[in-house]
Amino acid sequence: MEYATLGRTGLRVSKLGFGASPLGNEFGEADPAEGERAVHCAIDLGINYFDVAPYYGRTLAETRLGAALEGRRDKVVLATKCGRYDVDGFDFSAARIRLSIDESLQRLRTDYLDVFLAHDIEFADARQVVEEAIPTMRELQQEGKARFIGITGLQLNMLRRVAERIGAEAAPVDAILSYCRYNLLITDMDDLLTPFVQRHGIGLINASPLHMGLLTAGGPPSWHPATAEVKEMGRRLVQFCWQLGIRASDLALQFCLQHPDVATTLAGMSTVEHVRQNVAAATGSVDAALIVEVRTLISPFANRIWPTGRPENQDYAS
């Protein structure tokens, strides 16, 4: 397993990270015992970055991950989030964030987090994130409940604007998590966010290398927000790879893991098989020519994204 430093935090994190949302049944029913075995297998194979959130399974993923990490907490870099608690349930107030971290610590069976992230901030008022949420998270950092803090979201321009506004008065956030903006189907993270984090030494986390299940043999979940055209392109890409005798998911993960500025790429896992497949892909050789061929194949529908969050926080006009 390869490791990288998360921005200026000093945290050494595995280039392949464990996305724990599947433990909360976000992509179908997950067996709790198998999920625990998957967590243990991941640690044994060198994965040390674990990402979860209260929103995943509406606290279920945190509860299951906490149980699986019992006795192994010192072997991992543990991240969870605050601010999003349901499909339409958002609260970035100081009081809720303080309550949220205490609830998460209890579920995760630990007394501190390595990384604490404001979740999907495009659903919030930017001013509240800058003036209330982040200062509260900094206070929790000073209190020892979180070693480092950051923000997450789909809308890249908002992530950058919020970090810029924070930086005008204090220090920028320690980490930014971007999802579904850098994979085989889309790479505009490098246009809208990557240069900014490079300049400021902010740790960059890339999530959803499989575009939230779209680049898998099983296909995306029913709730996936991509357009029908993008889903069809994903299906064609998976079929193309299958005809070559390879898994599209492996190729997609390898593509993301090549990014020189991403500290860790989060792949969702809930079974030992998932873990072993992803580690094998991460440590295997990369077919650069095939990646170029696939990127050419999908080019007519590349860089397509969907609206999420408040209208004023969108990257692109609808």
Torsion, Cα 5 6 12 17, to 10 degrees, reads -120
Distances (CA, A) of 52 to 10, 35, 49, 128, 150: 21, 13, 10, 23, 14
Return the half-sphere exposure (C-beta side, CA atoms, 13 A cut-off) of residue 113.
31
Q: Is 56 a catalytic residue?
A: yes
Q: CA 304, 232, 56, 205 torsion: positive or negative?
A: negative
- The residues with which 4 forms a beta bridge, in sequence order, are 13
Return the half-sphere exposure (C-beta side, CA atoms, 13 A cut-off) of residue 89.
10
Q: CA 64, 212, 45, 116 torsion: positive or negative?
A: negative
Q: Are 298 and 237 in contact (CB under 8 A)?
A: yes
Contacts of 34 (CB under 8 A, 6+ apart): 270, 271, 272
Which is the catalytic residue, given 56, 85, 179, 182? Answer: 56
- The residues with which 77 forms a beta bridge, in sequence order, are 49
Q: Which residues are tagged catalytic?
A: 56
